[in-house]
Amino acid sequence: MVKCKNMIKSFARDTLLGAEIIDETKDEIALQILIKHSEFPIEKAVRRMVIVALSANRDSISALKKRDDVLFQSVINAHHDTNRLGLYAVRQLKFGIERNLFRELGFRTPKEFLLYRIIVNDITNIAEDALNIVNNLSTLRKQIDDQLLFIKEPIDEEVYSQLLNFNSIAHQMFEEATKAMFKRAYNDAEKLIAKRGSFVTLETELIRLISSKKMDPNVAAILRLMLDSSRRILDYGQNISELTLNRTVEEICTSFEVK
């Protein structure tokens, strides 16, 4: 399935002028030929960026165990797509702010230009971290293939299982944070900010577990990279929640002033 999806994405990216993947599920990909910016608004572009960047992160962690070219290429392609969508979003923001078109972009105030610019940057960083992980994995695999490095022990299942769990929690929080932002859900954003602190213990325990295991230092370094990327996703989720909270408070205060 991953291979087929990569082929479709490559075809759309390299062959169809103006084509963009506007939605994706486990079994389906929706393509649309874009004629005007209004057909692919900035909110939809950012939603798509979230899906692609988190998919890249997920595949980069799966690649630790599988280490196959399909997963590596999937992350590289997703990184490329995230950057392409990010540039598209930034162009729209630049065009809108120069002409004061915040309402045309679906914003309520001009300050939302900055909000979306920060979020686009955070999402781009998630994909960048995923690419960094697979680049390190690729180097590790080459050293093993060239017999410059000998790793006898398989990946520690306990560590890998807990890493996957921590990564899943990070993804969930980030997805919930972006949903709260799009819905302008003050209460949801506030709950997510409070929830972030509860994951610190889980992160500390995972660091201790990795340190306690006897494993090749090269593998341990990559595990730490993966842990750090998951922690950053949690931090980005908190950051987005705080921005959502600030925006919602400003809107409430403004509505009182108008009355």
The tens digit of pLDDT for each residue in 244-255 reads 988 766 666 655
For residue 21, what is the enclosing H or E element?
A: strand 19-24
Q: What is the pLDDT of residue 62?
A: 93
pLDDT above 70 for 15:
no
pLDDT by residue (tens digit) across 170-186?
999 999 999 999 998 98
Lookup: tokens for 116 = 């979306």
Instruction: Please report, for the chain, the start and end positions of each structural domain, with discontinuous segments joined by +.
Output: 1-148, 151-259
What number is the average pLDDT over the span 48-64? 95
pTM of the model as a whole: 0.83
pLDDT by residue (tens digit) across 132-191?
999 999 988 888 777 776 776 668 899 999 999 999 999 999 999 999 999 989 899 999
**pLDDT > 90: percent of the chain:** 47
Confidence of residue 55 (pLDDT cuts 50, 70, 90): very high
Q: What is the pLDDT of residue 258?
A: 47
Confidence of residue 92 (pLDDT cuts 50, 70, 90): confident
Instruction: Measure the CA–CA gap between 171 and 238, rounded to whole angstroms.
Output: 12
Angle at 204 between CA 59 and CA 62, to 5 degrees: 10
pLDDT above 90 for 131:
yes
Cα dihedral 88→92→97→100 (10° resolution): 180
Are 112 and 247 a contacting pair, CB within 8 Å?
yes
Are 186 and 244 a contacting pair, CB within 8 Å?
yes
Residue recorded with tokens 């697979």: 134
* Selection from 202, 63, 238 nearest residue 137 by Cα: 63
pLDDT above 60 for 215:
yes
Are 159 and 227 a contacting pair, CB within 8 Å?
no
**pLDDT > 70: percent of the chain:** 88
Q: Which CATH number describes the domain made up of 151-259? A: 1.20.58.220
Lookup: tokens for 143 = 């050293």
